[in-house]
Amino acid sequence: MKTYIKSGTHLVCGHWNSSPIEIGLTDLLLEVPATERLHYHEYHEYYIVLEGDGSLEVEGVNVALQAGSTIMVEPGEKHRVVAVGSSGIRWVIIKERSEPNSKHVV
């Protein structure tokens, strides 16, 4: 039986420090939790896979993920993680929530 050891995303920056971009690193994900469901956001979301492999469903299409993969999920696209390889998967996630005229250095 696999163990789910994802305790969350460790955030580097985000709205709490006035950044229009949120960047985080996920813990190692060894299996897809039973609570994983299709969801969407009102912003761009980028997944950059650092290690392992898996699959992400985006608008009904399964996209294979492996170390070195980068995928962008557009605002409003329904998505979820649907599979994780035997060695797990870890990624950096970038959420671009910038609005017009909001670019600045933090």
Chain segment 33-54, per-residue pLDDT in tens: 888 899 998 889 999 999 999 9
Any idea where the domains of the chain sit in the sequence?
Answer: 9-96
Question: What pLDDT sits at residue 39?
Answer: 93
- pLDDT (tens digit per residue) in 5-40: 445 677 777 776 677 788 888 888 888 888 889 999
Whether the per-residue pLDDT at 106 is higher than 50: the answer is no
57 burial class (0-12, 13-18, 19+ CB within 10 angstroms)? Answer: middle
pTM across the whole model: 0.78
pLDDT more than 90, % of the chain:
49
Class of domain 9-96: mainly beta
pLDDT of residue 98: 62
How deeply is 35 buried, as exposed, middle or buried, from its count of CB atoms within 10 A (0-12, 13-18, 19+)?
Answer: exposed
Give residue 97's identity as a one-letter amino acid code: R
Q: What is the mean pLDDT of the chain?
A: 83
Note the pLDDT tens digit of each residue in 41-88: 888 999 999 999 999 999 999 999 999 999 999 999 999 999 999 999
